[in-house]
Structure 1
Amino acid sequence: MVTRRTFLGFLASSVLPLPAVAADADNEPDFLHDWLRAGQMPPLAQRLPKMPRIINLAALGREPGRYGGSIRMLIGGQNDLRLMNVYGYARLVGYDQTLTLQPDILESYTVENDCIFTFKLREGHKWSDGHPFTSDDFRYWWEDVILNKKLTPGGGALELRPHGDLPRFEVIDEVTVRYSWDQPNPYFLPNLAAPQALVLVGPSHYLKQFHPKYQDDIRLSALMKQYRVKKVADLHIKMARVYRQENPELPVLDPWHNTTAPPAEQFVFERNPYFHRIDENGKQLPYVDRFVLNVSSSAIISAKAGTGESDLQATGIDFDDYTFLRDAEKRYPIKVNLWKATRGSRVALMPNLNSADPVWRQVLCDVRVRRALSLAIDRHEINMAVFYGLGTESADTVLPESPLYKPEYAKAWIAHDPAQANTLLDAAGLDKRDADGIRLLPDGRRAEITVETAGESTLDTDVLELVIDHWRKVGIALFTRTSQRDIFRSRAMGGRVMMSIWYGLDNGVATADMNPGQLAPTMDDQMQWPLWGMYYLSRGTQGTAPDLPEVKKLVELLGKWGESTSSFERAGIWHQMLEIYTDQVFSIGLINGTLQPVVRASRLQNVPEKALYGFDPTCYLGVYMPDTFWLKEDQPRV
């Protein structure tokens, strides 16, 4: 067994020697010309780390680009500012396009027995404001944020204390830090690479002004009034939230930084002059100077994207917009690519095993009922009618692109077999029917299932219209209810949702070294078992403990994964969990492998024609590095 692994950042991206960047005016973006001429910014060689990360575009099948221009993007509201942190995908450790972990912000790291993680920073790396990025920024976040009970009242993220205790933290030198656990922590690195990454570091030179340890009470009071918060802890939390991208003053390590304070109708992100990546020719990334995010009604994002009002758009559009968008290519300077969605199921029905209705809870906790509901659905009809036959009829499970894929997982209880469904429902005690042929519950009520949806996609409605007919044929009446996402989730957590339609597994392209927590109750927003998820998330202080043996087994296996020390062992645990999850039909998957339209301006280069699209682990566009996208010479816009 390998007990020590070493990863070198510059070797992970290129086998080329370090390009010469010193004093080469051709490698300077025009965007920075005025600052450079006025002496307000050092030249490129002094802005880059001593060992920048080299992105060998030729090896990726892409072209080195040119500097300049702005990319316009449409967002549905201020909350979507976080997309820039996801798209920028600058992480201490991140995935490449093969979903292999490698250093990014870090120059290198070593791992010993999955217990000791030593991180080496890039010497000379700087925050977006030009201040040095060093181990002191890690020390500040550890000692003054994570260990501060007012700023981190929960004791730190669960990924930092999977076995109960936080790690030991050490500063080795100015560019080296170490985190050590007594037991393995395989959660650690994948969570550093996540879309909403585990935070270990912050710009201490900026954040200290909001911390009571470093700032006097009078100034803190003034700052609290200025930023409209009532508690000192809330002040620091608000000003430090890098994921939300709402504080233009916060120095970042991302390729672009926000320059617009909310609220606003347009947010402008400008290039980070100190970004740590370069191409093989020594040009600093990103190529594009600005991202301009325009706020729009979510309902008309696809229409605006189709008329050329966005240069890069994936969010806010769906497969049912594809025909319109392809037709728009004939009239506007746009191109539409189709990427494969990474969800375990594009649409899945989630029976709430924590329903507040005791009769329905008992019914839905019977695996025969869940299997029957799955067998009653004609997935081929859904695929042809809604997805034009381009999806794959499947249970809610990993895709063939995952090394964990097995056909038996995808085929579990998905054959359209109304006869077997009827037999299972009869055996589950739902053998009595009323005059309309609708089955009766044990308490005499009609078997009427209300499926709730957030109403964010017409695809959900189209699918449910078909399922109504499928289930009616086996004596189950289906009704739909639409509510806003926040209300929808709140109702589910309160047990007031009987069943919901949602996406399937977040990560359908998982590897053995990725956390299998999506297969067990681990979060309170998992629609099939929110109270069990809350119990896990709160360490038993809220929610309720699982009482189904198979669910208990999933939680037990997840614990074993968290103690594992090899990929082989983790793969075995993943397979056990996938087998239980699909055989027990904890979510009723319908169609996966569906296609996501990605609209780009025809002059925008290096956007892959085909790729994987999902929040986790590809970070939507993130692993394909939008900092390497570039614009050809300006073309007139319609």
Structure 2
Amino acid sequence: MRLNLPNFAAKAEYRNGARTLRITLRPGHKWSDGHPVTADDYVFWFNHVLMNEELTPVVEPRFKGARIEKHDAHSFSYHFPQPMPLFVNHLAHNSSRLAMPAHFMRRYHPAFTDPAQLEREAEELGLQDWLTYFAAVNSTTDLMHFNRPVLTAYVLVSRTSTRALLRRNPYYFKVDPEGNQLPYIDYLEVQRVDSPEIMAAKASTGQVDFAGRQFMTADIPLFKRFEQHNGYSTYVWPRPYGSDVVLQFNLNHPDEGQRRIFQDVRFRRAMSLAINREEINDIVYFGYGVPRQLTVVSASRYFEPEFATAWAEFDPVRARALFDEMGLVDRDGDGRRERLDGEPLQITLEYMIGETPKQVTLDLVSAHWREVGVNVNLKQISGTLQRIRARAGLMDMTIWHADRNADILFPIEPYWYVPTNGGWEQSQWSKWTRWYFSDGALGWEPPAQIKELIGWWETLRRTTDEDERIAMGKKILRSQAENLWALGVIGLGPHPVVVSGKLRNVPLQGYWGWDSRWTWPYYPETWYLDEEVAK
């Protein structure tokens, strides 16, 4: 995942020591309503969404001090205060969010429409204010549908709580080698079901043409068993994740006693040594995952084998010795260790499930930890609560899957290794992240070791020297291997993808996950239904 190819842009050119990136759009591209795609669409998003303090209260680090300049209808430049040679990675992976149909969205923005009018309209629709009104109009997934133009291969026609109907975008810009406009398939029906179990049941009985989201590794035997009888194939694509479950301790815990324990590297090392990764691989992954410590995928140019093996062996004897060395001992003989202040060592791990085998992994890991005297209570919570508590730094522990570990994303979003993300999926270091985001005005000032991590990443993302970039990336990952800022369990887990026997052009091999944007690299607009098989 290193090669970036042109798409809407004819070319992207760095100038001024990588402080300026000039984008030249291909003329003739259109939104789904037929209106031309121009530089105005990128300027509108940058100036009136990203830089609007109400819509974007905190600007992400990559855009701090940046500005945009329009040259003509089809070219514009991003100007950065410092070199940004990796900004093209962001464009390649997530550029769809950097443009909005300005001709359409201006109508709902107070810079172009009377704010009082927008507030009245929001109230009439039962929305809180112009901000929620703007977000609703911009959304293509909400039940309240405003027909916002898109650039995707398909356009939403209708949506209910259980299904969505999409038709091919008549202005989609891609064609096949013979000049036929893509996509080949005219209509898509997307069904929403109430549970992963129902989803797996529908897929295994041949009721879908393509499915993969929210399937689990444990579904593979079910899909394989019925694929021949029900006319589909089960492709197994690895997930490009450093770990399917990344275990995070709150290093900025509000309780000083708990914080002191979590910040002690001996504790994190002991917790890692207590995990029997081989057992988890056999039980959960049928032996096809990769037991490893949290780090980048092995195909990465930043990878070193010792990063994946650091403190990843199963050694409960050594784990117990490290706990004892810290003074975390069982004083009352109940099989559970006490804190340094004599209070019971009680840890609650709050989590939400999805995409990877999180629940069964947690069940096994928590059992391993009980064997060495550490009791971790598991508490499944809603996505809403996860967002609130993780961002506020209120959790003892949480988990997610360690995406952003392939070369397209690791160098620009090293979230698991450097405090640069204030998102809901992390709880390691929210106070240090806030300090970094606010240039020291908010949060907690981190120790020198964490400042060093931030400094290495700043060098990595600014340098135009590839060798220096790789060296900085390896320093960050070597620090992770030594300090275990978060723990990995199993990486590159197998993921089932169900493909109907009549669906053509779907590759047998691929990667499934956020780093690869699931099916994006495999050109789903070129997939088609074989009418002979369909009969």
What TM-score does the superposition give when structure 2 sets the normalisation length?
Answer: 0.91
Equivalent residue for 2:428? 528
Structure-2 residue corresponding to 1:284: 181
The residue identity in structure 1 corresponding to 2:182 is L
**Residues 201-253 of structure 1, C-alpha deviations (whole Å, 9 max, x = no match):** 32222223223444457864664355443433443343234687964511111
1:401 alignment partner, one of 283, 286, 299? 299
**Secondary structure of 1:186 counterpart:** coil
Which of 474, 479, 495 is residue 596 of structure 1 equivalent to? 495
**Comparing 248-257 and 516-525, the one that deviates more:** 516-525
Letter in 2 for 1:528: Q
**Which residue pairs with 2:99 in the alignment?**
201
* 1:627 and 2:531 aligned: no
Deviations 1:558-591 (A, max 9, x none): 2222332232221111100001012111111111
| Aligned mate of 1:567, from 454, 466, 482 | 466
Tell me how far 1:486 sits from its aligned partner. 2.5
Once residues 420 and 96 of structure 2 are traced to their aligned partners in structure 1, the CA distance between those partners, rounded to angstroms, is 17
Matches within 5 A, 1:363-374: 363-374=261-272
2:258 is matched with: 360
Secondary structure in structure 1 of the residue aligned to 2:324: helix
Contact 1:277 1:284 in 2 (8 A): yes
**Is 1:612 aligned to residue 511 of structure 2?**
yes
The residue aligned with 1:82 is none
Q: Which residue of 1 aligns with 2:475?
A: 576
Aligned to 2:29: 125
Residues 565 and 203 (structure 1 numbering): CA distance in 2 closer, same or farther, change over 3 Å? same
Once the two structures are superposed, residues 311-363 of structure 1 have per-residue CA deviations (whole angstroms, 9 ceiling, x without a partner) of: 21111211011111111213312211000111110123222212233212111
Counterpart of 1:103 in structure 2 is: 6
Contact 1:500/1:527 (CA < 8 Å) preserved in 2? yes
Segment of structure 1 superposing worse, 98-107 or 600-609: 98-107
In structure 2, what is the equivalent of residue 89 of structure 1?
none
Shift of 1:131: 1.3
1:551 maps to 450
Equivalent residue for 1:116, pick from 11, 20, 27 = 20
Task: Quote the Cα distance in structure 2 between the aligned partners of 1:274 and 1:198.
Answer: 16
Structure 1 position 516, deviation (Å): 2.8
- How far apart, CA to CA, are the structure 1 residues paired with 2:242 and 2:356? 19
1:511/1:266 Cα in 2 relative to 1: closer, same or farther (>3 Å)?
Answer: closer
Does the 8 Å contact 1:126/1:132 carry over to 2? Answer: yes
C-alpha contact (below 8 Å) 2:42/2:100 kept by paired residues: yes
Q: Which residue of 2 aligns with 1:330?
A: 228
Structure 2, unaligned stretches of length 5 or more? Answer: none
User: Which AA in structure 2 matches 1:116?
Assistant: T
User: Is the CA contact 2:267–2:322 (under 8 Å) kept in the aligned structure 1?
Assistant: yes
3-state DSSP class of the match of 2:318?
helix
Q: Give the superposition deviation at 1:143.
A: 4.6
Give 1:105's aligned amino acid.
F
Whether the aligned pair in 1 keeps the contact of 2:416 and 2:486 (CA below 8 Å) is no
Once structures 1 and 2 are overlaid, which stretch shifts more, 143-152 or 202-211?
143-152
For residue 80 of structure 2, the aligned residue among 181, 184, 191 is 181
Q: Per-residue deviation at 1:442? A: 1.0
- Give SS of 2:360's match: helix
> What residue is the counterpart of 1:308 in the other structure?
206
Secondary structure, aligned partner of 1:279: coil
C-alpha separation between the residues in 2 aligned to 1:436 and 1:454? 30
Over the matched positions of the two proteins, sequence identity in percent amounts to: 31
In the TM superposition, residue 289 of structure 1 has moved relative to its aligned partner by: 1.4
Cα separation, partners in 2 of 1:253 and 1:636, compared to 1, 3 Å: closer
Letter in 2 for 1:110: E
More deviation, 238-247/421-430: 238-247
The Cα of 1:553 is off from its aligned counterpart by: 2.0
User: Normalising by the residue count of structure 1, what TM-score does the alignment of the two structures yield?
Assistant: 0.77
Q: Which amino acid aligns with 1:106?
A: A
Match of 1:347 in 2: 245
The within-5 A match list for 1:210-225 is 210-215=108-113, 220=118, 223-225=121-123
Report Cα offsets for 1:38-57 as digits up to 9, x if no partner.
xxxxxxxxxxxxxxxxxxxx
- Over the aligned positions, Cα root-mean-square deviation in angstroms equals 2.7
Gap runs ≥5 in structure 1: 1-97
Indicate yes or no: 2:172 matched with 1:268: no
Cα pair distance change 1:245/1:291, threshold 3 Å: farther
For 1:489 and 1:100, the matched residues in 2 are separated by 33
Note if contact 1:248-1:260 (Cα within 8 Å) is conserved in structure 2.
Answer: no
- Distance in 1 (CA, whole Å) between partners of 2:49 and 2:247 is 40
SS at match of 1:343: coil
The answer for the alignment partner of 1:388 in structure 2 is 286
The 2-side partners of 1:137 and 1:466 are apart by 49
The structure-2 alpha-carbon separation of the partners of 1:544 and 1:231, relative to structure 1 and needing over 3 Å to count, comes to same
Other-structure match for 1:50: none
2:143 and 2:470 mapped to 1: Cα distance? 36
What amino acid sits opposite 1:597 in the alignment? Answer: P
The structural deviation recorded for 1:402 is 1.5
Give the 3 Å change call, closer, same or farther, for CA 518–284 of structure 1 in structure 2.
Answer: farther
Task: Report how far residue 522 of structure 1 moved.
Answer: 1.7
Question: Residue 72 of structure 1 corresponds to which residue in structure 2?
Answer: none
Aligned residue pair count: 531
Change beyond 3 A, Cα 1:461–1:233: closer
Q: Residue 508 of structure 2: SS of its match in structure 1?
A: coil
Structure 2 CA distance for partners of 1:150 and 1:455, relative to 1, 3 Å: closer
CA distance in 2, matches of 1:481, 1:417: 27
Q: Residue 587 in 1 paired to residue 490 in 2?
A: no
Distance 1:306 1:116, change over 3 A: same
* Cα distance, 1:632 vs structure 2: 0.7
Within the candidate set 307, 320, 327, 1:422 is matched to 320
CA distance in structure 1 between the partners assigned to 2:47 and 2:250 by the alignment: 41
Give the 3-state SS of the residue equivalent to 2:167 in structure 1: strand
Say whether the 8 Å CA contact 1:302–1:316 is kept in structure 2. Answer: no
Matched, 1:158 2:61: yes
Closer, same or farther in 2 for the Cα pair 1:566/1:421, shift >3 Å? same
Q: State the AA in 2 paired with 1:160.
A: F
CA distance, structure 1, for counterparts of residue 235 and residue 452 of structure 2: 42
For 1:290 and 1:226, the matched residues in 2 are separated by: 33
SS at match of 1:103: coil
Instruction: Supply the AA of the counterpart residue of 1:291.
Output: L
For residues 410 and 429 of structure 2, what CA distance do their matches in structure 1 show? 24
Q: What's the offset of the Cα at 1:405?
A: 1.5
Cα distance in 2 for residues equivalent to 1:573 and 1:321: 40
Does structure 1 residue 135 correspond to structure 2 residue 135? no
Shift of 1:139: 3.8
